[in-house]
Structure 1
Amino acid sequence: MGERQKVAVITPGSFVIPSGRSSSVERVIEKIVPLAAEQLQIRIYGLADGHLPAYGLLGNVPCYRLTGGRRYVDSILRHLRKWLPDTVDVHNRPQLAYQLKARLPLARVFLTLHSTTFISSSSQPGSRTLPMLESVDGLIVNSKYLKDEIMRRFPSLTTPISVNPLGVSLEDFVPRWSLSGELLREARLADFGWNNRKIVLFIGRLLPSKGVHHLLEVFPTVLEKEKDAMLVIVGSAFYGVNRESDYVRKLKVLAEPYKDRVVFLPYVPYPRVADWYNLADILVVPSGGEEAFGLVNVEAMASAVPVVATGVGGIPEIVMDGVTGVLLSPEKLDPGLGDSILRLLESEEERRSMGRAGRELARIRFRWEHTSDRWVSIMKRNPSN
């Protein structure tokens, strides 16, 4: 057997391990790279953050944290020209991928996009973005929605696009409808003084596009019919920081009349966030924006918790309407969101059935092993195939 191919993975930030206080992009890399390391020689490159050492390891994979600013590209190039990787996979930075491809003509360069953020007009004009996307050997995205959205925005694009859905570590999540899951849940509810509460959960960034205000607007009608309901909101406006934004302050004003039934909890690092899924009866994902994938959906499914979500972006590729959860049209959140929450809170049988179906779907389709295997195949094959 020949020598393993060399693959350089370029992260968008300082590669923080564990990734609990990083963006989800770092978590994706943290999960798939060690699984791929038996088949590929991999090195990770990212920005120095001023706290972590310049060199570290993710399992046996070297991580280099380089000085940012004007010297960043030159620093990466110095490393890559010395190591001579076969392939470079740049995450979420089209301009960096473009610069590296121009200066490393013998290496294949992929651009992995996790959302539309860095190809949107607010990031840079489309006339500048298209040449960057055309320059690389292949694009990798996490949903068919994101692939279709790229083609809609850049219909002349000829660069091959591979879809590689994200995953979940089943072992990090205790399934809600198991003996251990139920015992753990009851003990934790008692610790909080929430005995017999039915927990509606939101986990994520507190941004207008995530739609938490919709959830707070319908919650009073849920409480009218379901006296034991409780809304737990876990997250903050910023990654790893619990500073309040204007939007968060507005959310807290909406919640003010229901003090004992609406709880705001700060950002919880991964994998401790699994404890909150275990408490939940339902996860609500009322996103109104371009949700390319949404790891919370597969994390809830791994926890055997049904999902009530808007059917936007890549969410319909994860949540099976009527099987693992309920999908709603963004235009019908009022009263559809409240009605769907009530429907599930009133039927333990439906919650149990959807939760178990979600856990099984996560097992067979959405594990990090699946994501890693597909990524290895993409790295190994000719992108023109």
Structure 2
Amino acid sequence: MDIAFICTEKLPSPAVKGGAIQMMIDGVTPFISSLYPLTIFSITDSSLPKREDDGLVKYIRFPRSTYIQDVSQEIGKHHFDIIHVFNRPKQVKLYKAASPNSRIVLSLHNEMFAEEKLTDEEALTCLNSTHAITTVSHFIKNTVLKRFPSAVKQLHVVYSGVDINQYPPIWSPIGKKIRKVCREKFDLVNKKVILFIGRLSKTKGPHKLIEAIPHIIDEHPDAVLVIVGGKWFSDNRPNNYVHFLYECASSLDDYVRFVKFIPPNKIPNIFLMGDVFVCSSQWNEPLARVHYEALAAGVPIITTDRGGNGEVIENEVNGLLIKDYKNPLEFARVINWILDQPQFGYHIANNGRKMIEERFQFSHVSERLLHVYEYVHKL
């Protein structure tokens, strides 16, 4: 099979500026390309050439302004057995027309079949042009089925994952060493670090953690909330919400610290600074990939029971789930509880690491994808 990946027009591939889709592509590429020819289309970036070919993988990059049209023209010049379109159901019709003999696989990483994003006509056109649809969670799968029950045979859940070689667990010798170095670098020695990593947006909920901090430091005066991220992946420019976060934290002295965007290849080390990782999402997450990363790093996880999060986090088994997700006092209660129970924290973190090793490495993700590709190739 000759396979093409068509990334979204938001971020380049490889994931030099982050992005869950781009990081997933980076992870599966070595496994897919070791078996089949692979071409990856993405937008251009000043740090990357317009074309690359290392003998196993071809990268073809076009400007964002003309990306969709350029990709359509390019795939028409080649024969791809499988064209995997990432998260853009509206574009399937165009790519199918450009390469009518290819099998089309669409992956959904968000609620892209919501009525406000896709009309009935657009959705049905996409379904009729697509041979299989993969979703990052059962939650996303069900958002499609609720609207289009007839799509059930096309839908396949393909969870994401991590490269565990990049994530030494916090209790390993190298993990302990990295933890010590990072905590010294960020002046966190002898602190209980509550870690948030993600985009600074209201839907991600870091303001809830800032509001919880006064109720945490009452019981744990050595606690510090470390907020890592920018308003949009590599974009550290402030907006109204970022200004709001800084304003909320202004009276909390050094108990809240902001660390701006950190490149994806540095993130595994950042996780090792934490005593607990909190995903405070207020929206229905498709299934945030930070869960896989924190699980791999061996950091105890607290997350909201929103969207697909509960599909990989089982309460009091490999993490803690918060149902009252709008309530800062509930975040404070659960964070205080886990900080009081370091042995239990280790127990759930150890369970989480084992789950990643057994089910959520990029080798597992690749196997699940290849199963879908081979299935549609036979149709």
State whether TM-score is above 0.5: yes
Q: Tell me, in whole angstroms, the C-alpha distance in 2 between the residues paired with 1:59 and 1:318.
A: 36
Of residues 342, 349, 354 in structure 2, which corresponds to 1:355?
349
- Evaluate the alpha carbon distance shift between residue 374 and residue 106 of structure 1 in structure 2; reply closer, same or farther with a 3 A threshold: same
**Which amino acid in structure 1 is aligned with residue 23 of structure 2?**
R
Per mean C-alpha deviation after superposition, the further-off stretch among 318-327 and 118-127 is: 118-127
Q: Sequence identity, in percent?
A: 27
Matched with 1:333 is 327
Q: CA deviation at 1:49?
A: 4.0
- Residue 332 of structure 1: CA displacement? 6.4
Q: Does 1:86 align with 2:62?
A: no
Shift of 1:69: 4.3
User: Per the alignment, do residues 16 and 142 of structure 1 end up closer, same or farther by CA in structure 2, a change over 3 Å counting?
Assistant: same
Aligned position for 1:371: 365
Paired residue for 1:35, among 2, 21, 31? 31
1:90-101 equivalent positions in 2, closer than 5 A: 90-101=85-96
**Among residues 105, 110, 119, which one is paired with 2:105 in the alignment?**
110
Corresponding residue of 2:127? 133
Q: Deviations over 1:129-159 (max 9, x none)?
A: 3322332111111111110111123345466
Structure-2 change in CA distance of 1:58 and 1:160 (3 Å): farther
Shift of 1:321: 1.0
Task: Return the match for 1:143 from 125, 137, 156.
Answer: 137
Task: Tell me if structure 2 keeps the 8 A contact 1:45–1:64.
Answer: yes
Q: Report the secondary structure of 1:231's partner residue.
A: strand
Amino acid at match of 1:25: I
User: Is residue 165–residue 366 contact of structure 1 (8 Å, CA) maintained in 2?
Assistant: yes
**Are positions 1:55 and 2:56 aligned together?**
no
SS in 2 for 1:219: helix
SS at match of 1:46: strand
Distance verdict in 2 for CA 1:269–1:68, change over 3 Å? closer
- Give the letter for the 2:211 counterpart: E
Counterpart secondary structure, 2:298: coil
User: Aligned in 2, Cα 1:208/1:56: closer, same or farther, shift over 3 Å?
Assistant: same
Query: Helix, strand or coil for the counterpart of 1:21?
Result: coil
On the 8 A contact 2:228/2:259 being kept in 1, the answer is yes
User: CA contact under 8 A between 1:234 and 1:265: conserved in structure 2?
Assistant: yes
In structure 1, runs of 5+ residues without a counterpart are none
| Partner residue in 2 for 1:123 | 117
In structure 2, what is the Cα distance between the partners aligned to 1:112 and 1:213?
Answer: 31
CA-CA distance at 1:207 after TM superposition: 0.7
How much does 1:384 deviate?
8.8
CA pair 145-108 structure 1, distance change in 2 beyond 3 A: same
Tell me which amino acid in the other structure corresponds to 1:328.
Answer: I
More deviation, 61-70/271-280: 61-70
Q: Which residue matches 1:283?
A: 277
Whole-angstrom CA distance in 2 between matches of 1:178 and 1:93: 40
Within the alignment, does 1:207 sit opposite 2:191 as a pair?
no
Is 1:90–1:97's contact at 8 Å kept on the other side of the alignment? yes
Letter aligned with residue 48 of structure 1: T
Q: Any conservation in 1 of the 2:72–2:94 contact (CA below 8 Å)?
A: no
Paired residue total:
379
Paired residue for 2:231? 237
